Amino acid sequence: MTAPEEWRPAVGWEGLYEISSYGQVKSLPRLTADGKRVRGGIMKPSPDKRGRLEVKLSRPGRHKVRRVHQLVMEAFAGPPEPGQEVRHLDGDPANNRWAPGSTAEEVRAAGGNLFYGTHAENMRDMAEHGTSHWANVTECPAGHEYTEANTVWYDGRRFCHECSLTRAREAYVPKDPRKVCPRCGREFMRPAGQPARKYCSDECSTAAPKVRGVA
């Protein structure tokens, strides 16, 4: 059963705006500093390029555009923990209903659609709901499959973990690739992408005397 609509002050805008558990934003009647009367009323939000609803809040000397889903969660669930952001559980960025619940399943059962989660969870939601550009892409340009273990999310984009590791290895260049083997005295080069080594070859490394406490 869906709970009745509840109104609470918008966090940081108390006395000026209220937000409802159904995702509505209301401007409160008031007098401005110059004596003008603000009638107040339900505001009409505008969608951004991703369909998320926004409203413009104002007070003397300050104007700010806020996303409705953030206002709802701040008022009813409190601020997010570090690394957390708002998830739209059904994939609809215009559905900003809140309902109590300690899990996403409980929130859905109570008729809500907003829940805090990590950026990775948010990106997975978008992929599952088909609202992400990457939803239908199953392989990276190199042909590696986007499995859960081989997927890295960053700034809303999906990257191949295997390709990322390859690029990191190829980009690694030691400060001074030239080394002198302490066993034979021969100078050798350490190719980019390989770990540091003390001897020029496995033969010199094996023949070198082992001294405790010395690498």
DSSP string, 22-85: TS-EEEPPEE-TTSPEE--EE---EE-TTS-EEEEEEETTEEEEEEHHHHHHHHHT-SPPTTEE
Say if pTM beats, i.e. exceeds, 0.75.
no
pLDDT digit string (tens) for 41-90? 999 999 998 889 999 999 888 899 999 999 999 999 999 999 999 999 99
Concatenate the DSSP letters of all residues of 137-172 into one string: --B-TTS-B--STTEEEETTEEEEHHHHHHHHHHH-
CATH number of the structural domain spanning residue 61: 3.90.75.20
Residues 64 and 96 in one domain: no
46 and 95 part of one domain: no
Q: Within a domain: residue 62?
A: yes
| Separation of alpha carbons 91 and 121, rounded Å | 12
Backbone angles phi, psi at 159, to 5 degrees: -125, 150
Task: Indicate the pLDDT class of residue 214, thresholds 50, 70 and 90.
Answer: very low
DSSP 3-state assignment of 104? helix
Tell me: the pLDDT tens digits for 110-161?
999 999 999 888 877 776 776 655 556 778 888 888 888 888 876 556 788 9
Q: Confirm whether 170 is domain-assigned.
A: no
- Quick one: pLDDT at residue 178? 77
Whether 90 and 60 share a structural domain: no
Instruction: Note the Cα 27 to chain centre separation in Å.
Output: 30
Average pLDDT, the chain: 84
Note whether residue 158 is domain-resident. Answer: no
Residue 43 belongs to a domain: yes
66 and 83 in a single domain? The answer is no
Task: Please check whether residue 38 lies inside any domain of the structure.
Answer: yes
Residues 58 and 84 in one domain: no
- Does residue 159 lie within any of the structural domains? no
| Domain C-terminal end among 49, 70, 91 | 70
Alpha-carbon span 160 to 173, nearest angstrom: 22
In a domain, 152, yes or no: no
Identify whether residues 65 and 44 lie together within a single domain. Answer: yes
Whether residue 36 lies inside any domain: the answer is: yes
Report whether 101 contacts 114 (CB < 8 A): no
Q: Which amino acid is at 82?
A: P
Question: Which domain does 214 fall in, by range?
Answer: 177-189+196-215
Assess whether 65 and 83 both reside in one domain.
no
Cβ atoms within 10 Å, residue 102:
8
- Domain C-terminal end among 70, 92, 121: 70
Residue in the block written with tokens 């990106």: 123
Q: 131: which 2 tokens?
A: 């609202």
Same domain, 24 and 43: yes
Number of domains making up the chain = 3
Domain boundary among 46, 70, 94: 70
